[in-house]
Amino acid sequence: HTHIQSIALIFFVLGLVFSFTSVGNGLKYFTVSVSFLSLPLDFGSRFLAKYYPNLVYLMMASGALLGFSFAVMILLPLYEMWIKKPD
């Protein structure tokens, strides 16, 4: 499915930009890891929810994590570029 490859490429580029921010390495590792782990969970649970209806909860959770990590990796670099005052 082409969305998986394109979203993975977008997360790769966002992760690269996010890695140059001034936040701690722990938050960087966590955010980038969550984004790449939640992507196959989200798409996999969408497919498997037809057969196992309880997987809709996994789909909702992984989609929320995907959106949260996406927002963090976009908003934090934008904040540091445009709003944060230099030290």
Question: pLDDT (tens digit, 9 = 90+) per residue, 32-63?
Answer: 999 989 989 999 999 999 999 999 999 999 99
Q: Taking the model in full, what pTM does it have?
A: 0.83
- Helical packing angle, 2-18 and 56-82, nearest 10°: 40
> In Å, how far are 31, 43, 55, 59 from 52, measured between CA atoms?
28, 14, 6, 11
Question: What pLDDT score does 1 carry?
Answer: 61
Question: What pLDDT score does 83 carry?
Answer: 92
**Largest CA-CA distance found in the chain, in angstroms, rounded:** 55
2 pLDDT higher than 80: no
Rounded distance, CA 10 to CA 51, Å? 30
Rounded distance, CA 37 to CA 43, Å? 11
